[in-house]
Amino acid sequence: MASTSSPVRRLDPADPAALHDQAAAQIRRAIAEGQAAPGERLPPARDLAAVLGVNRNTVLRALRLLREEGVVEFRRGRGITVTAAPRAAALLAAARDLLAQARRDGYTRDDLINLIRDLPDP
């Protein structure tokens, strides 16, 4: 995320999730995928807003959520800095455990994907 040309996708106003939650998810994912490591600064909120296609205040609200999670910190005069990677590693471990359990129960990866796809969104 050192630049605004990152593969973060624009937010979907038709999505039932609030825009600031979508923005937080996109930033969280970009950090988890290594686009910004702990200690690195994020682009300014106005630049992130332009990339995500939302208002700067929406991005600031998303960044406050990430600060509450301990993913970023606001440093006076230094901008917004990544403090920790999101729980992507924990999510990946849970997915592996789920796949292992599905295989033990006779389900294939495709069966599991279809089961997940058919679940209603929370």
pLDDT tens for the chain, residues 1 to 122 = 544 444 567 888 888 889 999 999 999 888 888 888 889 999 999 999 999 999 999 999 999 999 988 899 998 888 999 998 776 666 777 888 899 999 999 999 999 999 999 999 87
Q: Compute the distance between CA of residue 111 and CA of residue 43 in angstroms, rounded to an integer.
A: 40
pLDDT at position 75 = 87
- 3-class SS at 100? helix
Angle at 89 between CA 108 and CA 97, to 5 degrees: 30
Residue 52 phi/psi, 5-degree rounding, is -80, -15
Residue that has been written with the tokens 């979907």 in this structure? 12
pLDDT at position 7 = 54
pLDDT at position 9 = 74
